[in-house]
């Protein structure tokens, strides 16, 4: 398998890594508003002996939940590498069946994270992605994506409190907080952190009741390390780059057919 550049475009952050023999290298993360900064990894990966990536038969593969940013990245990738990006769910399939009412509307990031979690943990399993939104998704015993739950992430919740109230301040995201705050900032921190942890624990419990009471759990996403210590011990395993892993798995399976 040729070298790959795997790119994930989320709502607020983009990440990219060079993948060789299926293994991800160092991951570069940039704000979605600064996708030009990904040229660093694209150009570096494309500069083997002066050859363009397209000339080497390599590929830029993308998982995106942000259509506008994806359109921007297409131009950046072609300019930097000479290769037109290949997009998961459009140019190649994601090899996990979505056993839900509207499978075509499930985000590619959710399917790719589930695919990677299934590869690591087997079936059934539960994957929690803690990004702009939090998703708690279940993989059934037969390996199918069985659905899940979505609620606002920590940053979005903090923003909503500050925008939607007259007196509550915007606070920096906490890494720890008392259960009961003794100041307004502490109270907001407690609500954000322990409220999210409680919601995740309850939703994981519900997912396990559906697909298997002993289903293992894997956390991913930008806020996974923040929330993991506040979750039950059997819900603390973190793998930060599950979507990129799933992206590489999906592309390799498609190319291997």
What is the CATH classification number for the domain harbouring 21? 3.30.420.40
> Is 162 a domain residue?
yes
Residues 109 and 222 in one domain: yes
Residues 235 and 146 in one domain: yes
Residues 39 and 166 in one domain: no
- Give the per-residue pLDDT at 48: 47
Asked whether 219 and 228 are in contact (CB, 8 A), the reply is yes
Backbone φ and ψ for 43, nearest 5 degrees, come out as -70, -40
Tokens found for residue 166: 């007259």
Q: Which residue among 33, 54, 87 closes a domain?
A: 87
Residues 125 and 218 in one domain: yes
Return the half-sphere exposure (C-beta side, CA atoms, 13 A cut-off) of residue 190: 10
pLDDT band at 156 (very low <50, low <70, confident <90, very high): very high
d(CA 242, CA 63) in angstroms, rounded, equals 12
Residues 132 and 201 in one domain: yes
Tokens found for residue 128: 């929690």
d(CA 63, CA 87) in angstroms, rounded, equals 6
pLDDT band at 51 (very low <50, low <70, confident <90, very high): very low
Question: Which distant-in-sequence residues (6+ apart) come within 8 Å of 196 by Cβ?
Answer: 134, 153, 154, 157, 227
Backbone φ and ψ for 149, nearest 5 degrees, come out as -135, 150
Residues 135 and 212 in one domain: yes
> Is 97 a domain residue?
no
**pLDDT tens for residues 139-148?**
999 999 999 9
- Give the per-residue pLDDT at 237: 98
Residues 73 and 107 in one domain: no
> Is 73 a domain residue?
yes
Tokens found for residue 102: 């509207």
Mean pLDDT, rounded, for 193-209 = 98
When divided into structural domains, the chain yields a total of: 2
Residues 149 and 77 in one domain: no
Whose CA is closest to 246, among 113, 136, 122, 155?
A: 113
**pLDDT tens for residues 183-198?**
999 999 999 999 999 9
> Is 117 a domain residue?
yes
Q: Which is more confidently placed, 44 or 112?
A: 112
Asked whether 115 and 96 are in contact (CB, 8 A), the reply is yes
pLDDT at residue 249 greater than cutoff 80: yes
Lowest mean pLDDT among 46-50, 89-93, 159-163: 46-50
> Is 167 a domain residue?
yes
d(CA 93, CA 14) in angstroms, rounded, equals 21
Residues 63 and 116 in one domain: no
> Is 47 a domain residue?
yes
Q: What is the DSSP string of 14-46?
A: EEEEEEETTEE-PPEEEEGGGGGGGHHHHHHHH
Residues 184 and 231 in one domain: yes
> Is 157 a domain residue?
yes
Angle at 190 between CA 184 and CA 191, to 5 degrees: 90
Among the listed residues 109, 129, 137, 223, the single catalytic one is 109
Residues 65 and 116 in one domain: no
224-244 residues labelled b (16+ CB within 10 A) or e (exposed) = bebbbebbeeebebebbbbbb
Asked whether 216 and 208 are in contact (CB, 8 A), the reply is no
User: Hunting for tokens 């390799």 — which residue is that?
Assistant: 252
Q: Which residue among 24, 53, 87 closes a domain?
A: 87
Lowest mean pLDDT among 19-28, 45-54, 108-117: 45-54
pLDDT at residue 45 greater than cutoff 60: no
Percentage of the chain lying above the pLDDT 90 cut: 79
Residues 17 and 121 in one domain: no
Domain holding 12, by residue range, is 4-87
> Is 179 a domain residue?
yes
Residue 137 a catalytic site member: no
Q: Which residue among 87, 116, 146 closes a domain?
A: 87
């Amino acid at each position: 398998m040729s070298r790959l550049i795997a790119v994930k475009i989320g709502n607020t952050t983009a990440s990219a890594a060079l993948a060789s023999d299926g293994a991800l290298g160092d991951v570069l993360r940039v704000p979605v508003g600064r996708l030009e900064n990904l040229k660093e990894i694209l150009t570096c990966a494309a500069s083997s002996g002066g050859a363009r990536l397209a000339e080497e038969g390599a590929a830029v593969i993308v998982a995106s939940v942000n259509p506008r940013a994806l359109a921007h990245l297409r131009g950046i990738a072609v300019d930097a590498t000479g290769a037109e990006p290949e997009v998961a769910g459009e140019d190649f399939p994601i090899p996990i069946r979505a056993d839900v009412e509207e499978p075509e509307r499930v985000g590619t990031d959710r399917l790719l994270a589930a695919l990677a979690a299934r590869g690591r943990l087997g079936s059934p399993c539960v994957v929690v992605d803690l990004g702009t939104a939090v998703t708690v998704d279940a993989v059934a015993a037969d390996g199918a994506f069985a659905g899940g739950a979505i609620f606002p992430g920590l940053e979005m919740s903090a923003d909503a409190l500050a925008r939607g109230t007259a007196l509550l301040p915007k606070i920096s995201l906490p890494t720890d907080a008392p259960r009961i705050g003794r100041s307004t900032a502490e109270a907001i921190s407690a609500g954000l952190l322990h409220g999210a942890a409680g919601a995740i624990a309850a939703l994981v419990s519900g997912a396990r009741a559906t697909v298997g009471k002993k289903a293992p759990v894997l956390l991913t996403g930008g806020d996974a390390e923040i929330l993991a210590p506040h979750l039950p011990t059997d819900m603390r395993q973190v793998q930060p780059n599950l979507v990129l892993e799933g992206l590489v798995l999906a592309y390799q399976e498609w190319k291997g057919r």
